Chains A and B, each alone.
Chain A
Amino acid sequence: MNNWSVILSIAKTHLITKIKQTSTAALGVTFGIGSYITLVCFMTGLNGMLDDLILNQTPHVHIYNEIEPSKKQPASFIDDAKESFTVVHSIKPKLSQKKIHNALPIIKYLENTENIKGALPQIKTQIFYMAGSIELGGNLTGINPVDEAKLFNMQDYIVKGSAEALENSDNGILLGIGIARKMSLKVGDRVQVSPINGGIFPLKIVGFYQSGIADLDAIQSFTNIKTVQRILGKPKNYITDINVKLYNMEGAVALAQKIEQQFNLTAIDINTANAQFETGTTIRNLITYAVSITLLIVAGFGIYNILNMLIYEKMNDIAILRATGFSGKDVQLIFMSQAMIIGFIGGVLGLLIGFGLASLIDTIPFQTEALPTVETYPINMNPVFFVIGFSFAMLSTFLAGYLPSKKAKKIDPVRIIRGQ
């Protein structure tokens, strides 16, 4: 019995003859959806960028040998002292090696474990950069540059040169940009480094590294693992850290615990290391949605208002339609479809405007010392946002249309006709 073409043609005529109100109502939706899309693309873009900043270069599980005091001090081994009160002064950390024992088999084992994308060895050591008679303290980390680039987006932080150039050079160094500035060095120059236990090694600068954290850039440099082993005079199995990247970050906590138990090493998972990070992301998302929902509610009230007015104006029409054989439900559908048409047009326009604005923001230059690879404001154009935005437009207009149209359904035509 529902005759959609008639109902829609009546709805269409109503909307077209009241084009001003219709467009105002639709613009309300457009504005709400447009700003939702813009906001959410921009905010999640920012979130993604900040995530990348921290998470991409942070290993999901970091394995190393912690220097710490023995958990069981010698005093506790003495049976006689068990019942007594023991005081031990100036406990020192246990003398242990910095390297991870059996590092290479552990790496092999980890790489074959499920959910692990890769496990990369590193050697961290302190060195001095020599500039004439001046010695600058710093950190030198031995890495497998190409693997690091693949798993931890190392290339994002190499501002000059490349990971490959470092990989291919036997005595190359990727110098922190801060050190390079201090020592007025450029790519191709040589820099002399000296490990703590003495000796001087000239290394060729193949590129600059900029993490965005000035303090870090002033001390940190990278070179090949082999080079560090040579500088330190250590064998090939000398590895101080293993960085593990997972396919699924959720498994990090469990894996860290397992590694600690199995290998008697310290393993820090990313959630523990960056606990405050999640909070920031959640709150930014919350703000985005709060603002968008507010805008859509305002738009919804606009539609509600305009439909209410329209129904009041169209009382006679409603009575006539009822008298000539349209049921209350048909009348409700007429006004419902008007609301939905407004929501649809407004929503689609909103998506387009949101897309336009987001694209525009994407082209605005955004240069900051902290993020060497970012050139414009980050935008995350996820189709899911468009689906959510559109569904929200339809939902809010449905609700805004439902109440007035229900009122229209209940109008008694006899009262209106006789009331004249």
Chain B
Amino acid sequence: MDNVLEARHIDKYFKKPVLFHVLKDLNFEIKKGEFASIMGKSGCGKSTLLYILSTMDTDYEGELYLNNTLVTGKDNQYLSYLRNKHIGFVFQFHYLLSEFTVLENVMLPAKKLAEKSLEEIEQDAIEKLKMLDIDHLAPKRASRISGGEKQRVAIARALINDPSIIMGDEPTGNLDSYNANNVFNIFKRLSDEQGLSLLIVTHDEEFAKKTDRIIQMSDGRILQ
């Protein structure tokens, strides 16, 4: 009933260099407050799936529901708005805008959403940074902080608009075990304390084991 994300009969083909059936009739849902991870070997299509779920990739067959509304076939402007409001993203590579300060990076999606005043946004951003123990980095340039810190800033940015779901594409893949643990604990805390839904693609078995649910993928199918 309370599904944040629901995928129905998702099929995806890569047309280049040769026709390749990547995702084969995928059906699954993420419940509200669920901390799920997708595991599988390289090339099994888990990242491909994530980008379809993220609405960034629109070239697929099947139906995708976000908060029980159909998003498949919506125009790009609307999808951008959806991503902005409902989906928070954390990537393997930290992907901050290196010329902006940490605070500006965190504020940017909220500024785009423009539902709050600039002061409120700034306050929110500082609050999120505080929650992740990195509020002291706020005025620093994004290019001047360490990898672990960057990933935490990226999480703060993903949280700024209070999204329905956080998606991560191997968010710990590029971090040492200390920082990876740290990131996992943050996710866990968000899930437990704030009831946030999370969907994380990972290679890291230890990481996956600690999540509520593991979605195992192999050759474009979900193994149950």
A325 CA to B77 CA in the complex, in Å? 9
Chain B interface, number of residues (Cβ within 8 angstroms): 32
| Chain B 6-44 per-residue mask, 1 if CB under 8 angstroms from chain A, else 0 | 000000000000000000000000000000000000000
* Contact assessment for A414 and B56 in the assembled complex, using a CB-CB cutoff below 8 Å: yes
The one of B51, B114, B161 in contact with A3, judged by C-beta atoms closer than 8 angstroms, is: B114
In which size bucket is the chain A interface? 20 to 34
* Contact assessment for B95 and A327 in the assembled complex, using a CB-CB cutoff below 8 Å: no
Asked if A262 is an interface residue, CB under 8 A from chain B, the answer is no
| Chain B 55-85 per-residue mask, 1 if CB under 8 angstroms from chain A, else 0 | 0110000000000000000001100110111
Cβ < 8 Å to B, chain A residues 314-345: 316-317, 319-330
Asked if B91 is an interface residue, CB under 8 A from chain A, the answer is yes
* Contact assessment for A326 and B95 in the assembled complex, using a CB-CB cutoff below 8 Å: no
A17 CA to B47 CA in the complex, in Å? 33
What distance in Å separates the Cβ of B222 from its nearest Cβ neighbour in chain A?
Answer: 21
A320 CA to B92 CA in the complex, in Å? 12
The one of A316, A319, A321, A325 in contact with B81, judged by C-beta atoms closer than 8 angstroms, is: A325
The one of A9, A317, A325 in contact with B109, judged by C-beta atoms closer than 8 angstroms, is: A325
Given known contacts A317-B97, A414-B56, A324 and B109 CB-to-CB distance under 8 angstroms: yes
Asked if B54 is an interface residue, CB under 8 A from chain A, the answer is yes
Asked if A417 is an interface residue, CB under 8 A from chain B, the answer is yes
* Contact assessment for A324 and B56 in the assembled complex, using a CB-CB cutoff below 8 Å: no
Note all chain A residues with C-beta closer than 8 A to B76.
Answer: 327-328
* Contact assessment for A324 and B114 in the assembled complex, using a CB-CB cutoff below 8 Å: no
* Contact assessment for A324 and B54 in the assembled complex, using a CB-CB cutoff below 8 Å: no
A414 CA to B84 CA in the complex, in Å? 16
A14 CA to B98 CA in the complex, in Å? 10
Asked if B131 is an interface residue, CB under 8 A from chain A, the answer is no
* Contact assessment for A323 and B111 in the assembled complex, using a CB-CB cutoff below 8 Å: no
Asked if A197 is an interface residue, CB under 8 A from chain B, the answer is no
Given known contacts A3-B114, A418-B47, A325 and B84 CB-to-CB distance under 8 angstroms: yes
* Contact assessment for B81 and A1 in the assembled complex, using a CB-CB cutoff below 8 Å: yes
* Contact assessment for A323 and B47 in the assembled complex, using a CB-CB cutoff below 8 Å: no
Q: Can you name the residue of chain A whose Cβ is closest to the Cβ of B113? A: A325
What distance in Å separates the Cβ of A273 from its nearest Cβ neighbour in chain B?
Answer: 66
Is chain A's binding surface mostly helix, strand, loop or mixed? Answer: helix
Given known contacts A323-B54, A325-B85, A327-B77, A5 and B108 CB-to-CB distance under 8 angstroms: no
| Chain B 95-124 per-residue mask, 1 if CB under 8 angstroms from chain A, else 0 | 111111000100011011110000000000
Asked if B169 is an interface residue, CB under 8 A from chain A, the answer is yes
Cβ < 8 Å to B, chain A residues 1-55: 1, 3, 5-6, 9-10, 13-14, 17
Asked if A413 is an interface residue, CB under 8 A from chain B, the answer is yes
The one of A3, A14, A317 in contact with B112, judged by C-beta atoms closer than 8 angstroms, is: A3
What distance in Å separates the Cβ of B218 from its nearest Cβ neighbour in chain A?
Answer: 20
A322 CA to B56 CA in the complex, in Å? 8
Q: Can you name the residue of chain B whose Cβ is closest to the Cβ of A1? A: B77
Most buried by B among A1, A319, A323, A414: A323
* Contact assessment for B85 and A417 in the assembled complex, using a CB-CB cutoff below 8 Å: no
Cβ < 8 Å to B, chain A residues 199-248: none
* Contact assessment for B111 and A324 in the assembled complex, using a CB-CB cutoff below 8 Å: no
| Chain B 119-146 per-residue mask, 1 if CB under 8 angstroms from chain A, else 0 | 0000000000000000000000000000
* Contact assessment for B112 and A324 in the assembled complex, using a CB-CB cutoff below 8 Å: yes
A75 CA to B96 CA in the complex, in Å? 104
Q: Can you name the residue of chain A whose Cβ is closest to the Cβ of B85? A: A325
Q: Can you name the residue of chain A whose Cβ is closest to the Cβ of B92? A: A420
The one of A14, A17, A319, A327 in contact with B80, judged by C-beta atoms closer than 8 angstroms, is: A327
* Contact assessment for A3 and B83 in the assembled complex, using a CB-CB cutoff below 8 Å: no
What distance in Å separates the Cβ of A177 from its nearest Cβ neighbour in chain B?
Answer: 70
Note all chain A residues with C-beta closer than 8 A to B47.
Answer: 418
A320 CA to B142 CA in the complex, in Å? 14
A10 CA to B84 CA in the complex, in Å? 17
A417 CA to B171 CA in the complex, in Å? 13
Given known contacts A1-B81, A320-B96, A420-B92, A326 and B112 CB-to-CB distance under 8 angstroms: yes
* Contact assessment for A324 and B89 in the assembled complex, using a CB-CB cutoff below 8 Å: yes
The one of A1, A316, A317, A417 in contact with B169, judged by C-beta atoms closer than 8 angstroms, is: A417
Given known contacts A3-B114, A325-B113, A14 and B108 CB-to-CB distance under 8 angstroms: no
Asked if B93 is an interface residue, CB under 8 A from chain A, the answer is yes
Given known contacts A3-B114, A324-B157, A325-B109, A417 and B77 CB-to-CB distance under 8 angstroms: no
13 pairs, A vs B, C-beta closer than 8 Å: A1-B81, A320-B95, A320-B97, A323-B54, A323-B56, A324-B84, A324-B109, A325-B80, A325-B85, A325-B161, A330-B112, A417-B51, A417-B91
Contacts A324-B157, A420-B93 supplied; 6 other A-B pairs, CB < 8 Å: A10-B97, A321-B108, A324-B112, A327-B80, A413-B56, A420-B92
Interface of B with A (CB < 8 Å)? 47, 51, 54, 56-57, 76-77, 80-81, 83-85, 89, 91-93, 95-100, 104, 108-109, 111-114, 157, 161, 169
